[in-house]
Amino acid sequence: MSKGVTVWFTGLSGSGKSTITRILEKTLRQRGERVEILDGDVVRTNLSKGLSFSKEDRDLNIKRVGFVCQLLTRHNVIVIAAVISPYKQSRESNRSLIGNFIEVYTKCSVEACAKRDPKGLYKKAQSGEIQHFTGVSDPYEEPENPDVICETENETPEESAQKIVLKLEEFGYIDKQ
C-alpha cells in the first residue's frame, strides 16, 4: 500500500488546478491508489459555507482543508487539495501539520487566467462586482519552493499531471511503474 500524502495545488482561479486534479485522480485510481479530492469550490459550498473572502476567512478555510487533509493522509490516502490558497503562511502551516505534503504550483499569468475565465469571475472582479478577488483586487503570494511547477500556459494538463506522478514516485509515495 502506498503512503498517504497530500498533493496541495495552489494557483490563481482558472490556472488549471481542477483540470489537472481530475487527470491526476484518474491516473492514480487506474494504478489502484486510494484518492480523495478536496476541491476549493466544493469545500466552500460544504465545509466552509458562510465564510467571506477576507484574509481571516480565507486562512480559516485553508486551515479546515488542511485538517481534513491531515486526517486522510494519516490513513494512507492520497489527498488532492485544489484550492487557490493565496497566502504562503497558510500553505506552510499546512505543510507542517500534514507532514507528507507535495506543493504543486499551477503557474499561469493573470492575463491567461482571465482569458480562460471559465466562470466569468475575472470580468466581474475587474468591473468591481466581486470584491477581494485573488490576482485582481487581492494578492496572490507565489510559492517560493514548490515541489512541482506546472506551467499551464506552456504544457498540457496531461503533461502537468505526469510531472506530479513522477514526483510522487521520486518521493516514494507511490511505486514506480
Strand order in the sheet with 5-10: 35-39, 78-82, 5-10, 101-107, 148-151
Give me the residues paired with residue 151 across strands. 107
Read off the DSSP letter of residue 3: P
- Longest C-alpha distance within the chain, in Å? 50
Active-site annotation holder among 2, 15, 85, 160 = 85
Length of the chain as a residue count: 177
Which phi and psi angles does 82 have, rounded to 5°? -110, 90
Burial class (CB in 10 A: 0-12, 13-18, 19+), 122: buried
Q: Is 85 a catalytic residue?
A: yes
Please identify every residue annotated as catalytic: 85
